Amino acid sequence: MSRLQKSRKNRNVRDCSFSRIKAIVRSTIPAPLATVLRTAKSIAFGLKSWAAMKRCSLRPKSALGTVVILSLGGRHGSPILAKSVQELGYDIHVISPRFPSYEGQFARGWTRCDPVLDVVGTIKAARKIAPLSALVEHRNILLPAKSEIHNALGLRDVGELSFKASNSKISMREALRDAGVPQLKWCKHENYQSGQLGYPLIVKPEQGTGSRGVILAQNETDVENALKLNKTLSKGIIAGGRILMEEFIDGHNYDVTGIYRDGELYPFIVQAMQFTSVDGALPASWYLLNAPIEDALRNRLIAKAKAHLNDMDVKVGAFTCEIRMDNVGNFFVTDFANRCATPLSTSMAAGASLTEYYARAMLEEEFKKPDLKNYVVFQRFVRNEDELSRYRAFIKQYPEMVYDARLLKSQYADVLTLARISLFATTYEELKDALGEHNLIPPEFSQYGFN
């Protein structure tokens, strides 16, 4: 075991213990007081970040130049990306509608502007900064501003279709249709006629991540309820837009995540996923990064991802392709993003920083092919008390495997979730043995063929 891994495991023991203590303490605090404490903590963190930014602004400017990070600010920040860019030696300037508490720790400056609602203002701000690149971590809705900045300032072409397809599931399907690529049957809601796709079918918003608004409809009443839910979601900026109707097929779900540059694909991880219907909603039940699949299947998934990047005219950057495989082995891309998704878990599983390679690719830095590992990361969304009790026992016995344990109730994809547990193991066998001791192996593992 390397010194880095040992350090990480020691840190995970402390972090996990601290997370359990915080969860216990929080559960005893009255709701009004908890709100006050969260607000005070947020203000204190923001002031600390502001002070760090001021200190950074007093230092000599980097000889390498400045990078713009587009953000929504507040808790919707991109701290992992900001840290990677800073460690590469560049200055960082954040453009966001609210103070970027997370990125501010690493930034030299901040401009208040909304990259989603005011693209013109964002471009004006970028012209004054004269950045080498504009980067986005995990929000598709920021990609249009990124592309416009690159076009206006003559920066590296990121591909017009790629950002449109990332930000709109409907645009992606229209592009696949125009390219003659086979896909699942679908239509826009305004063109839908009752029963034309059969039941069950999927109803989901064209914009958004994390399965928000995604409904498995069994009948026309479910469709109507799904439309009402999505109408409510469209009032925000994280999810919404037009409504997509799509046929549902049995099968398995996979993600391919990595870096694409100069026609070369660098797949960091292949991930298996399970989505389970809960009162119609389709939240994720678990993610398994670097799942133990056969090499032939892995290679086919990577080839499908590369073909999709070509179909979407992707030029450069990080990417994630969500691929559904039916029961006879056909592949269908159901979602796509040309940005840096789940950077922490992906980097841990790959043993290399996804955000670092993303920044290097966008900044046209030379880099060698990453030396990727095959570590395993397992993320579980716990939704019943019995399983949560067993996970508490697991955490007590194997704290070194836990890199994040959110033991508080929350809403995920419109479904109540009691906890989100994230585990790290050097091999799948190590993970499976530990989970097996507490009867925590998901039954779907055998359905996916994991031994």
Q: In the chain, what are the domains?
A: 60-155 (3.40.50.20), 185-247 (3.30.1490.20), 251-447 (3.30.470.20)
Are the CB atoms for 248 and 332 separated by under 8 Å?
no
* Greatest C-alpha distance within the chain: 65
pLDDT of residue 231: 77
Q: What are phi and psi of 438, to 5 degrees?
A: -115, 15
| Alpha carbon distance 254, 308 (integer Å) | 14
| Alpha carbon distance 321, 337 (integer Å) | 7
Are the CB atoms for 441 and 282 separated by under 8 Å?
no
Q: What are phi and psi of 39, to 5 degrees?
A: -65, -45
The 3-class SS string of the chain reads CCHHHHHHHHHHHHHHHHHHHHHHHHHCCCHHHHHHHHHHHHHHHHHHHHHHHHHHHCCCCCCCCEEEEECCCCCCCCHHHHHHHHHCCCEEEEEECCCCCCHHHCCCEEEECCCCCCHHHHHHHHHHHCCCCEECCCCHHHHHHHHHHHHHHCCCCCCHHHHHHHHCHHHHHHHHHHCCCCCCCEEEHHHCCCCCCCCCEEEEEEECCCCCCCEEECCHHHHHHHHHHHHHHCCCCCCEEEEEEEECCCEEEEEEEEEEECCEEEEEEEEEEEECCECCECCEEEEEECCCCCHHHHHHHHHHHHHHHHHCCCCEEEEEEEEEEECCCCEEEEEEECCCCCHHHHHHHHCCCHHHHHHHHHCCCCCCCCCCCCCEEEEEEECCHHHHHHHHHHHHHCHHHEEEEECCCEEECCEEECEEEEEEECCHHHHHHHHHHCCCCCCHHHHCCCC
pLDDT of residue 213: 82
Question: Tokens 């030379």 map to which residue?
Answer: 366
Residue 433: which residues within 8 A CB-CB, separation 6 or more?
Answer: none
Q: What is the length of the chain?
A: 451
| Alpha carbon distance 81, 268 (integer Å) | 16
| pLDDT tens digits along 123-177 | 999 999 999 999 998 778 898 999 999 999 999 888 888 888 988 999 999 999 9
pLDDT of residue 398: 94
Encoded tokens for 439:
């009867």
Q: What string of pLDDT tens digits covers the 451 residues of the chain? A: 333 344 444 444 344 444 444 554 454 556 676 666 667 777 888 889 999 999 999 999 999 999 999 999 887 788 999 999 999 999 999 999 999 999 999 999 999 999 999 999 999 999 999 999 999 987 788 989 999 999 999 998 888 888 889 889 999 999 999 999 999 999 998 888 887 899 999 999 988 777 788 889 999 999 888 888 877 766 555 667 889 999 999 999 999 999 999 889 999 999 999 999 888 888 999 999 999 999 999 999 999 999 999 999 999 999 999 999 999 999 999 999 998 888 999 999 999 999 999 999 999 888 888 999 999 999 999 999 999 999 999 999 999 999 998 888 888 877 899 999 999 999 999 999 999 999 999 999 999 999 7
Are the CB atoms for 158 and 135 separated by under 8 Å?
no
pLDDT of residue 410: 86
Q: Using a cut of 0.75, tell me whether the model's pTM lies above it.
A: yes
Cα-Cα-Cα-Cα dihedral of 41, 43, 47, 49, to 10°? 70
pLDDT of residue 126: 97
| Alpha carbon distance 232, 3 (integer Å) | 49
Half-sphere exposure of 220 (CA within 13 A, CB side): 5
Instruction: Give how far Cα 240 sits from Cα of 143, 235, 404, 443, Å.
Output: 16, 7, 29, 33
pLDDT of residue 31: 61
